[in-house]
């Protein structure tokens, strides 16, 4: 059985003081990592602050990284910079980065390879726009993303990879995909990966993301191909984050 993984994506939110308040509020309250994986993906300046205090039941993730080891890339962050401060996960290819910061399937592919080389666990985001869904192209779009993003990875990489299916029209809009729509697409993500890499796709975890909150997470996680959630807005409140993680236990 695949253990559920609940990841908060804080995006560009929280100062150091706010992050400290959050981490003190959740410590002691999170279920153990044997039961569910819980991750907070925070802005770069907060990562060390959080990883120092993460405790046994929480892992820390970044929201992006560069694919080069080091060099003249002003403003960028390398995988080694993340691992050496206790970061375990990294979100790669979030739709906001694809839309606003020139992230392409080519850079996503390079970043995934580098993350695995350096021992980080990537959370790869894929998903279609509203226009693409209205034209009935969601599967075509997600398949094309996966084929390019995953090119050249090994079966071992796929086993550890986490993919977040995030329909762009459901992100930050309050408009969640129905649990049937989410299940259909998460199952499809697994099928595409299975066609590329074989049975190991059954071990890979697929999250749903897009307006997940305390009131809808149970239904979403009850679906057979949904192994967790990537949560933006609702992950910012300590109390809600604890509830979201608890929803991932024993499902
Ligand atoms: P949301 O964001 O939960 O605020 O919709 C999800 C995401 O962008 O990962």
Minimum CA distance residue for ligand 1 atom 7:
232
User: What's the CATH class of domain 5-246?
Assistant: alpha beta
* pLDDT grade for 1, boundaries at 50, 70 and 90: confident
Comparing 28-32, 105-109, 193-197, the range with the smallest average pLDDT is 28-32
Q: Mean pLDDT throughout 210-236?
A: 97
Minimum CA distance residue for ligand 1 atom 6:
232
Asked whether 41 lines ligand 1 (CB < 6 A), one says no
pLDDT, residue 173, reads 84
* pLDDT grade for 251, boundaries at 50, 70 and 90: low
Q: Mean pLDDT throughout 85-114?
A: 98
Asked whether 172 lines ligand 1 (CB < 6 A), one says yes
Q: Given ligand 1 and candidates 231, 234, 236, 244, which is best to mutate, with the most ligand atoms within 8 Å of its CB?
A: 231
Asked whether 230 lines ligand 1 (CB < 6 A), one says yes
Q: Mean pLDDT throughout 45-51?
A: 97
Q: Which residues are catalytic?
A: 94, 166
| Residue 178, number of CB atoms within 10 A of its CB | 12
With left for phi above 0 and alpha for psi between -120 and 50, is residue 218 left, alpha or beta?
A: alpha
Using one digit for the tens of pLDDT, what is the confidence trace for 127-146? 999 999 999 999 999 999 99
Comparing 97-106, 174-183, 226-235, the range with the smallest average pLDDT is 174-183
Asked whether 212 lines ligand 1 (CB < 6 A), one says yes
Q: Given ligand 1 and candidates 8, 9, 240, which is best to mutate, with the most ligand atoms within 8 Å of its CB?
A: 9
């Amino acid at each position: 059985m695949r253990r559920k993984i609940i990841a908060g994506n804080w995006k560009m939110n929280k100062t150091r003081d706010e992050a400290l308040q959050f981490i003190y509020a959740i410590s002691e309250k999170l279920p153990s990592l044997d039961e569910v994986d819980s991750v907070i993906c925070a802005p770069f300046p907060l990562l060390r602050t959080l990883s120092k205090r993460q405790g046994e039941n929480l892992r820390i993730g970044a929201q992006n990284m560069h694919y080069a080891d080091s060099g003249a890339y002003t403003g960028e962050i390398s995988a080694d910079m993340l691992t050496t401060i206790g970061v375990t996960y990294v979100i790669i290819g979030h739709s906001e980065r694809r839309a606003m910061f020139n992230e392409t399937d080519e850079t996503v592919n390079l970043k995934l390879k580098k993350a695995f080389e350096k021992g980080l666990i990537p959370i790869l985001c894929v998903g279609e726009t509203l226009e693409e869904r209205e034209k009935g192209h969601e599967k075509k779009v997600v398949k094309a993303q996966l084929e390019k993003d995953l090119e050249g990875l090994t079966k071992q990489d796929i086993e550890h990879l986490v993919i977040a299916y995030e329909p762009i029209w459901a992100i930050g809009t309050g408009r969640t995909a129905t649990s049937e729509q989410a299940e259909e697409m998460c199952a499809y993500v697994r099928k595409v990966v299975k066609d590329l890499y074989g049975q190991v796709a059954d071990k890979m975890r697929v999250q749903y993301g897009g307006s997940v909150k305390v009131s809808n997470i149970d239904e979403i996680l009850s679906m057979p191909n949904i192994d967790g959630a990537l949560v933006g807005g609702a992950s910012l409140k300590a109390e809600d984050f604890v509830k979201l993680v608890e929803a991932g236990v024993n499902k």
